[in-house]
Amino acid sequence: MTSTLQRPILIVDDDPGMRATLTLSLRQMGHAVVAAANGEEALAQIEQCPVGAVVTDMTMPGMSGMDLFRTIKQRRPGIPVIFISAFGSIEVAVDAMKAGGFDYLAKPFSPEALTCVVCRALQTGTPLECALPAAGTGAILTRDPGMLKMLKMAQTVAASQATILIEGESGTGKELLARFIYERSPRAHRPFIAINCAAVPEGLMESELFGYEKGAFTGAVAKKPGRFELAHTGTLLLDEIGELPLSLQAKLLRVLQEREVDVLGGRKPVALDVRVIASTNRSLWDEVKAGRFREDLYYRLNVFPLRLPPLRHRPCDIPLLVEHFIQQGAVEHRQPALTVTPDAMAILMGREWRGNIRELQNVVERAVLLAEHGTITADHLLVPDRVNARPLSAFSTGTTVWEAERSLIVETLERVGGNRTHAARILGISIRTLRNKLRLYRGLAPSDDAFRHDALLPDAAGETADADQLWLPRVVGG
């Protein structure tokens, strides 16, 4: 049987120039390609030979891209379909993805964006230098040689039952890597259960991990299976394992050694078949030396260690990630695809990105919201050292927090044309908090011209604003 990677990519577009461009882009990346000028030709091609994926324009004479998609779903439901669309068809493309389409690209898009989406569509055999699928959460996108080497090791160890320890700074994609391993393991059809050890209160962690029987304590009105039981025959991700209290580390060690769990209130241990992946944003060995983590548990978890490099160590991935987040933001906010000016890209390439990929994604999403005329410029990035509002160090001695906060709000509102929705998102506060802040400032009444572009909207999160809330450090601080 021909594997998905060996099958050609089918390009469907009534524009000969576009067909030629797409064909050339994919062939340069090593893909076999066949082309069709319309939906009828495409269906004939699919009947003649198996294809690995279909890339189709949404708007074509006769059979539209959506009609073609529906027919393919009926005849060959396993073929992933990628849609190409101009801005005016975004809603149709989004609806198509909800109906089962694989992905969507808004025109204009780069050859790299097309190649990455196609690689993801090809699934398990995807060339690592393009993209790596991670079910339900997006993709690991990289061209960095060190990252590629690590991912190849991850793909190899995925087939084993070895316990894996993933180390990496916050925002580097540790859960994505864990899901990548799970997707390629023999347990891919079984449960994937995750628990964030830093997010569960210490008093509840034992019951969350190991469960309890009905009547085990006051208030235990029904049996509660723990995460280990829920992950039976599958994979359990212990996220931020370094935050696990010392009091529970001994019990976790026993579970890993004996492959059974003592349920609180239970009469006998419950046998388990679970593949464990642990992740941490700190050095576990440093935690061992500091006496905050058991050395024996460290060795039990560190069977196969993987380290995710921070984004500042893989700068060649920044353009790839920026392109991906722009496409993502365009679909989410129903906006046309955007390009990035060279000076804006230079700023993105030169930043340290302490928050890693998560921080980059937030900056790009804000830029998508602010960009005009189809282009993201340096002024749209609104990274702390580029905000029109003065940095904290630029305020003269004696400037009050009230004055600095007021200046930041005013300048941010001016930049977004008075749109409070966008301003609140950029400043990291709710619309209700912004509205209450404005009421504190004399001369900034809601009727002022600076705010005429935006209605007073209710706070969707239902937050209540504290008039004394000092959110300023989040905007201008490190």
For residue 167, give the CATH number of its domain. 3.40.50.300
Question: How confident is the model at residue 215, as a pLDDT?
Answer: 67
385 within a domain of the structure (yes/no) = no
What is the C-alpha separation between 315 and 198, in angstroms, rounded? 29
Q: What is the pLDDT of residue 143?
A: 79
Q: Which of 98, 103, 67 is nearest to 82 (CA)?
A: 103
CATH number at residue 36: 3.40.50.2300
pLDDT classification of 399: cutoffs 50, 70, 90: low
Q: Where are the beta strands (DSSP E) in 226-308?
A: 235-239, 260-261, 270-271, 275-280, 304-307
Q: Answer yes or no: is pLDDT of 455 > 70.
A: no
Q: In whole angstroms, what is the distance from residue 461 CA to residue 205 CA?
A: 28
Distance in angstroms between the alpha carbons of the first and the last residue of the chain: 55
Question: In which residue are the tokens 């059809």 written?
Answer: 189
Note whether residue 386 is domain-resident.
no
Q: Does 240 lie in the same domain as 173?
A: yes
Of 307, 334, 353, which residue constitutes the final position of a domain?
307
Q: Are residues 20 and 163 in the same domain?
A: no
**Whether residues 201 and 256 fall in one domain:** yes
The reported pLDDT for the residue numbered 3 is: 42
Confidence label for 431 from pLDDT (cuts 50, 70 and 90): confident
In the predicted structure, residue 461 carries a pLDDT above the cut 60 = no
For residues 238 and 371, membership in a common domain is answered with no
| Residue 150 placed within a domain | yes
**141-150, 383-392, 435-444: which range is least confident on average?**
383-392
Distance of CA 458 to the CA centre of its chain: 28
Residues 362 and 407 in one domain: no
Can you give the pLDDT at residue 370? Answer: 86
From 277, 307, 337, give the residue that closes a domain.
307
As a whole-number percent, the residues of the chain with pLDDT over 90 amount to 26
Residues 370/335, Cβ–Cβ less than 8 Å? no
User: What residues make up the domain containing 92?
Assistant: 4-140
Same domain? For 171 and 227 the reply is yes
Same domain for 299 and 169: yes
Q: Give the pLDDT of residue 97.
A: 66
- Tell me the two tokens of residue 26: 């994919």
Identify whether the C-beta of residue 168 lies closer than 8 Å to the C-beta of residue 281: yes
**Averaged pLDDT for residues 70-78:** 85
d(CA 474, CA 14): 50
pLDDT, residue 293, reads 95
Handedness of CA 204, 206, 210, 215 (dihedral sign): negative
Question: What confidence score (pLDDT) does residue 196 get?
Answer: 92
Give the C-alpha separation, 55 to 113, whole Å.
13
Q: What is the mean pLDDT of residues 216-238?
A: 84
Determine, yes or no, domain membership for 387: no
**Report field, pTM of the whole predicted structure over 0.85:** no
Q: Which helix (H) or strand (E) holds 104?
A: strand 103-106
CA dist 105 → 83, 118, 283, 414, 436 (Å): 6, 11, 39, 32, 40
> Based on the domain organization, do 40 and 115 belong to the same domain?
yes
Q: Are residues 401 and 367 in the same domain?
A: no
Among 140, 167, 188, which residue terminates a domain?
140
The predicted pLDDT at position 136 comes to 35
Whether 57 maps to a domain, the answer reads yes
Average pLDDT score over residue span 292-313:
94
On whether the CB atoms of residues 339 and 376 are closer than 8 A, the answer is yes
Q: How many domains does the chain have?
A: 4
Q: Are residues 401 and 369 both part of a single domain? A: no
Edge-to-edge strands of the sheet including 103-106?
A: 33-36, 9-12, 53-57, 81-85, 103-106
The beta strands (E) that lie in 348-461 are given as 375-376
As a whole number of angstroms, the distance between CA 144 and CA 337 comes to: 25
Say if residue 242's pLDDT is above 70: yes
Q: What average pLDDT does range 382-403 have in this prediction?
A: 54
Question: What pLDDT was estimated at residue 129?
Answer: 37
Q: How confident is the model at residue 451, as a pLDDT?
A: 40
* CATH at residue 361: 1.10.8.60
What residues have CB less than 8 Å from 464, skipping those under 6 apart?
432
Q: What is the mean pLDDT of residues 290-313?
A: 94
pLDDT, mean of residues 236-261: 92
The answer to whether residues 432 and 461 touch, using CB atoms and an 8 Å cutoff, is no
Higher-pLDDT residue of 281 and 463 is 281
Note whether residue 301 is domain-resident. Answer: yes
pLDDT-based confidence at 449, cuts 50/70/90?
very low
Least confident of 42-46, 69-73, 157-161, 379-383: 379-383
What is the largest distance, in Å, between two alpha-carbon atoms of the chain? 78
Confidence bin at 56 (pLDDT 50/70/90): very high
Residue 254 pLDDT > 60: yes
- pLDDT tens-digit profile of 110-134? 777 787 778 777 753 333 333 333 3
* pLDDT: which is higher, 254 or 473: 254
112 lies in some domain: yes
Both 320 and 418 in one domain: the answer is no
CB distance 227 to 208 below 8 Å: yes
**453 pLDDT tier (thresholds 50, 70, 90):** very low
Distances (CA, A) of 69 to 63, 114, 144: 10, 18, 35
pLDDT number for residue 123: 52
Instruction: Region of 193 please: left (phi>0), alpha (psi -120 to 50) or beta.
Output: beta
Q: What is the mean pLDDT of the chain?
A: 78
One domain for residues 330 and 465 = no
Domain contains 435: yes
Confidence (pLDDT) at 133: 36
467 pLDDT above the threshold of 70? no
For the record, the structure tokens of 113 come out as 């964006």
Check residues 31 and 174 and name the one with the higher pLDDT.
174
